[in-house]
Amino acid sequence: MRTRLFVAGVLSLAMWGAGFSAHAADQPLPRQEWSFEGIFGTYDRASLQRGFQVYKEVCSACHPVKHLSFRDLTQIGYSEAQVKAIAATYQVTNAEPNDQGQMFQRPGRPSDPIPGPFPNDQAARAANNGALPPDQSLLVKAREGGPDYVYAILTGYKEAPAGFKLLQGMNYNEYFPGHQIRMPQPLSDGAVTFADGTPNTVPQMAHDVVTFLTWAAEPNLEQRHRTGFKVMLFLIVAVGVFYATKRKIWATAH
Ligand code: HEC
């Protein structure tokens, strides 16, 4: 009995590490395999970098990543020099005006936040038929189903079923609540070219960009997993010690 309780305790601790919850919407979300799931989960650096490329070349036309600065990209395996070069490909508005009191554009620096596509939410709505493309830096954490949900949206565009009333300017998506989404299908086969030769199919690009967006929302996940693992080890050892001590004490008590 006691051993069974002990085993159940260890098991539930292990499951606690497994992470993201299931989706409650009408359509059950297909579960994907993610390298970052489970207590030993880590981010795949190559996938993170491909995902950043997909974000940069596709999603960033509409969605900002408000919480990311260029220098954060060193965490996904880019060197300081590479980050400098990436930042310099962007034009950013300097925080301070020039000597004539005018705001001016200059190439980005590692310390700059990654600039979004629109100066404000109103401009973003105006360019998207009234819909606001949400900030992507916290999106994966903000939605039930997390990475599986975002992956499902990206791969869930279909022909609307016969009889479905699709409103003007909307697209049918199997996994978006209500099935009508303003975002046009963002990914199509071949949309980007990966330098490492990875096939640029929709599922592959979706997998990589979701990995990148999960990192954006949870940059400390690996650290958290390591700490969680240490805590688990400690608890297992502690339970063993307590159990042995208890037996010893009770043995002499008779
Ligand atoms: C042409 C502009 C545009 C592009 C490009 C685009 N999106 Fe969107 N996206 C939108 C808009 C607008 C919405 C809001 C949808 C709505 O309200 O119907 C949205 C919504 C979403 C949602 C649903 C969020 C929710 O509220 O649950 C996800 C997920 C998403 N986008 C991911 C992406 C990813 C990943 C990419 C890049 C591969 C991308 N988008 C590219 C415009 C865009």
Query: In whole angstroms, what is the distance from residue 20 CA to residue 142 CA?
Result: 11
Of ligand 1's listed atoms, the one at least distance from the Cα of 124 is 12
Q: Could you tell me the distance, in angstroms and rounded to a whole number, from the CA of residue 235 to the centre of ligand 1? A: 43
- Predicted local distance difference test score (pLDDT) of residue 253: 75
Burial of 119: CB neighbours in 10 Å, binned 0-12, 13-18, 19+: exposed
> What rounded mean pLDDT belongs to the chain?
90
Tens digit of each residue's pLDDT (9 = 90 or more) over 53-111: 999 999 999 999 999 999 999 999 999 999 999 999 999 999 899 999 999 999 999 99
pLDDT at position 5 over 90: no
- Predicted local distance difference test score (pLDDT) of residue 79: 97
Query: In whole angstroms, what is the distance from residue 41 CA to residue 229 CA?
Result: 11
Mutate-to-test residue for ligand 1 from 27, 57, 62, 166, highest number of ligand atoms within 8 A of CB: 62
Of ligand 1's listed atoms, the one at least distance from the Cα of 176 is 27
Q: Could you tell me the distance, in angstroms and rounded to a whole number, from the CA of residue 150 to the centre of ligand 1? A: 9
- Predicted local distance difference test score (pLDDT) of residue 219: 92
By C-alpha distance, which of 47, 44, 27 is closest to 35?
44
Tens digit of each residue's pLDDT (9 = 90 or more) over 160-219: 999 999 999 999 999 999 999 999 999 999 999 999 999 999 999 999 999 999 999 999
User: Hey, whose CA ends up nearest to atom 2 of ligand 1?
Assistant: 62
pLDDT at position 157 over 60: yes
Mean pLDDT confidence for 145-157: 97
- Predicted local distance difference test score (pLDDT) of residue 12: 59
Question: Would the CA dihedral through 58, 61, 66, 69 be positive or negative?
Answer: positive
User: Hey, whose CA ends up nearest to atom 39 of ligand 1?
Assistant: 59
Query: In whole angstroms, what is the distance from residue 104 CA to residue 98 CA?
Result: 7
Assign 22 a pLDDT band (cuts: 50, 70, 90).
very low
- Predicted local distance difference test score (pLDDT) of residue 8: 62
Mean pLDDT confidence for 147-152: 97
- Predicted local distance difference test score (pLDDT) of residue 254: 63
Query: In whole angstroms, what is the distance from residue 110 CA to residue 44 CA?
Result: 23
Q: Could you tell me the distance, in angstroms and rounded to a whole number, from the CA of residue 41 to the centre of ligand 1? A: 27
Q: Could you tell me the distance, in angstroms and rounded to a whole number, from the CA of residue 244 to the centre of ligand 1? A: 56
pLDDT at position 26 over 90: no
Question: Would the CA dihedral through 21, 114, 204, 36 be positive or negative?
Answer: negative
- Predicted local distance difference test score (pLDDT) of residue 177: 94
